Amino acid sequence: MRLPIYMDYQATTPVDPRVVESMLPFFTENFGNPASRQHRFGWVTEEAVESARALIARSLGAEPREIIFTSGATESNNLALKGTGEALRQKGNHIVTVQTEHRSVLDPVRKLEKLGFQVTFLEVDEQGILDPDRLRAALTPKTILVSVMFANNEIGTIQDIRSIGTICRENGILFHTDATQAAGKLPIDVQESKVDLLSCSAHKIYGPKGIGALYVRSSNPRVKLAPQMDGGGHERGIRSGTLNVAGIVGFAKAMELSIHSMNEESKRLTVLRDKMLNAVRAQLDDICLNGHPTSRLPNNLNISFLGVEDNALMMSMKDVAVSTGSACSTADPEPSHVLKALRLRPERLHSAIRFSIGRFTTGEEVDYVVARVVESVNTLRKLMPPSRSSRTRVRDEATIGRGI
């Protein structure tokens, strides 16, 4: 076992060596521009891109022509939200999303608000689940789009995407889901779930950074998007720009590997995750699991260690890479907006740590991290003992947490 230990797989993942191997020829030998259709160099890369497009489409239950390559999930989310808003402005100006969405969804819809759109930010329950009835009640004749994350990047909670898609389809409203944390980890079928737009990214599934995709339904209903990047008409005119061929090839290989090992890997990660949670619970009092206990990603643990500041705990474990929330919000000193949306008490908000394990995590590493966590929490609690009234609130919260 080598230090430091990486347990921040939901922020990004190391590129699988098999993915790197698949990409290498497209940096030196097969370097052509796939839009250069006048010679063999372009033909080779165009074939590679279309092969990758077909593979990614199959993994989502989509058609190849419905996959638009982007620079990542942030661009995919922006294109889905802003592109839909602009294209359907004459039909309506109401968008519905959820308070626990990623910033790459929340920030674009707030930008649309400034442009005159009406946005409803739905609440979730204390475990991060959106009540479908709450969604149904929020819809109006002017609603054109609903955006709900498939699986949360901080607390791991998985939404009932099929029910949400059914509600949207019944009301003639487009449904977008940010599936960045779900693609390659959970079974996805855009047809069964009635998803119209879906965002995903390679670097969450052991692929390269800088490449992602947006699924755009081509029929029943056909989704029209206003391009947000002009200049050449690439990707069916929806997203101009020279394609990142090596990245696209790596994305497809990463997706292929993830789909092939999904069931086995999910079971393995669930065992490690539960082993970690149970070991921490056995050795520490006053901890709370944040998120849904069972409807959650197999590699996610978000735990509040009551009576301990989150940043202090991270700093005391410099040989373990964990986080307090999304990697896209690390400069924000405020508590996680996701945890705040769960309406947790301050003790839980300021003591939450996200552990996310992955393909290269071992049982030995889990044992080491548990020991470091227990040691650090006990040390910090001795240095910063809470008041008696605070301790009472802490124990109340812990009791609730153990029931989650």
Distance CA 105, CA 338 (A): 13
Q: For 232-235, which contacts have Cβ atoms below 8 Å and span 24 or more sequence positions?
A: 232/35, 234/35, 235/68, 235/69
Helix (H, G, I), strand (E, B) or coil at 140: coil
Instruction: Assign 3-state DSSP to the chain and report helix, strand, coil percentages, each to 5.
Output: 45, 15, 40
161 contacts 195 by C-beta, under 8 angstroms: yes
Amino acid at 294: T
Please give the single-letter amino acid code of residue 375: E
Name the active-site residue from 168, 200, 288, 328: 328
Reading the block at residue 388, the tokens are 């008696």
Catalytic, 328? Answer: yes
**Strand pairing category for 94-98 and 118-122:** parallel
d(CA 274, CA 254): 26
- CA gap 28, 30 in Å, rounded: 6
d(C-alpha 88, C-alpha 112), whole Å: 13
In eight-state DSSP terms, residue 72 is: S
**DSSP count for the chain of H helices, then E strands:** 14, 12
Q: Give the pairing of strands 143-147 and 118-122.
A: unpaired
Say how far apart CA 48 and CA 246 lie, in whole Å: 9
Distance CA 146, CA 387 (A): 45
SS3 39: coil
Enzyme catalytic residues: 328
